[in-house]
Structure 1
Amino acid sequence: MRHRTGAAAYVGGEQRREELMAGDTRIDVRDTPKPQRHALILEAFDRLAAGDSILLTNDHEPRHLREDFERELPGSFGWESLGPDEDGSWQVRITKTTRAPLPRLVADTNALFADLDPSSAGSVWQLTPARRDLDANIIALPAGDAIDTHDGPGLDVLFVVLSGSGTLGTETGEIALAPGAVVWLPPRSQRRIDAGAEGLRYLTVHHRKPTLSITPRP
């Protein structure tokens, strides 16, 4: 990756490029393997102060990169496409508009449940941003369904009942589940979940489990 800052001239650029602010961080990823590009650009963006910009040079229009920014940093960036150059490269100016990612609405359970089939089972909603420290899911169990007795993972899980009813079985007894119930599941604790006559829908939140990296689209 070719990486320059300040007022160094962009080789082969047009006058429009030369007039950009001297503080832009200039990144050329044309020599960088495609699977590594998006992560490198996002890391460079994280290091910017609010109001500063990256001048990105790529070998194609980075549409999928913009999709990543829209998913991970909505409302926190500006995107100015400067178009293709004579040598076939493509430049984009990406500006950091907030100091940190913005809080955002990620789900509306009223709308979700209104459209949900009563027979739906399993995870019906997931927290999707890739750059996060938490995993969160909304789990649905139809009436009379159950998650069999098992030992949980080696991490804390917070469990919030959203609708329906049921019971949580532990090593020594049962806990009644109703809307509003907040349950802590300690690491490796035994649990069994049974849905009542109305079914059961609940939110789980826990620290994100380590996963394999997903290669972004070029």
Structure 2
Amino acid sequence: MPDITLDVHEIPKPQRHPKIFSLFDGLAVGEAIILVNDHDPRHLHDEFEADRAGGYSWDYLVREKRDYQVRIGKTTATTPPRKLGNTAELTNASVDAADVAWKLTSPDRHLDSNLIRLAADGEIAAHAGGEVDVLVHVIAGSGQLGTESGDLEVVAGDLVWLPRRSQRAFRAGSDGLSYLTVHTHREPTLNIEPLALRDAQS
């Protein structure tokens, strides 16, 4: 199939990137989009690198003032697996209270994941979970998970399941507490709580 040429000059800016990604995702391996624009689409390249790293090619065909053409090719059927970070490095830095050290941010994700750190003796107050089950992996430190039926001692290496809507609270021990949460992606809802605390309660 010949390359698809997409001139974005007449496409409203908020619709450009969604249109490009929609076309790209519909390509077969080896096919490509020729993107025509009046400026260097560096931000688009950043998005491709963040969300589809290893699965695309990016070749400038024209780089002139107000005339840019880029061939964006599909090199793999799906986005390849990739390294996102290192939990040991993320938990080494000191923390004063509740901190979201890392979170999964890809807009096309089907999972949500956060790395939460609590300072020594810090806590996340008791609350009811949302409509998704949550898997918790304790990465470092120790503490207690408060539940309706009592407290559970947790240490590095523990895997904990939080059933949907269950009551939970986290209290760090004297060595702090760092844990990774994983659950099905859910769209954000309006919430006036600080971002770090809201994410930590996932």
TM-score interval (norm. to shorter):
0.7 to 0.9
Q: Does 1:70 align with 2:70?
A: no
The residue aligned with 2:111 is: 134
Q: How does 1:50-69 map onto structure 2 within 5 Å?
A: 50-69=29-48
The residue aligned with 2:90 is: 112
Distance in 1, matches of 2:172 and 2:91, equals: 16
Distance in 2, matches of 1:27 and 1:104, equals: 29
The residue aligned with 2:193 is: none
Equivalent pairs, count: 189
List per-residue Cα deviations over 1:14-67 (Å, max 9, x = no partner).
Answer: xxxxxxxx6111212111100110111011111111111111112322111111
List per-residue Cα deviations over 1:75-134 (Å, max 9, x = no partner).
Answer: 111111122469x442110011111101011111122223x1153532111112222111
User: Which portions of structure 1, spanning 4 or more consecutive aligned residues, are displaced by more than 6 angstroms?
Assistant: none
Q: Identity over aligned residues, as a percent? A: 44
Match of 2:121 among 144, 154, 176: 144
Match of 2:24 among 45, 48, 52: 45
Distance in 1, matches of 2:169 and 2:69, equals: 54
List per-residue Cα deviations over 1:153-204 (Å, max 9, x = no partner).
Answer: 1111111101111111111111110111111111111111111111100000
AA matched with 1:111: E
The residue aligned with 1:14 is: none
AA matched with 1:153: G
More strand by share: 2
Match of 1:189 among 142, 159, 166: 166
Q: Does 1:170 align with 2:147?
A: yes
AA matched with 1:60: H
Q: Does 1:96 align with 2:97?
A: no
Q: SS where residue 67 of structure 1 aligns?
A: helix
Q: SS where residue 175 of structure 1 aligns?
A: strand
Q: Does 1:79 align with 2:58?
A: yes
In structure 1, the gaps of 5 or more residues are 1-21, 213-218
AA matched with 2:83: L
Question: Would the alpha carbon gap of residues 120 and 190 (structure 1) be closer, same or farther in structure 2, given more than 3 Å must change?
Answer: closer
Kindly state the Cα deviation for residue 136 of structure 1 after the two structures are TM-superposed. 0.7
What is the TM-score normalised by the length of structure 2? 0.87
Q: Which protein shows a greater Rg?
A: 1
AA matched with 1:129: S
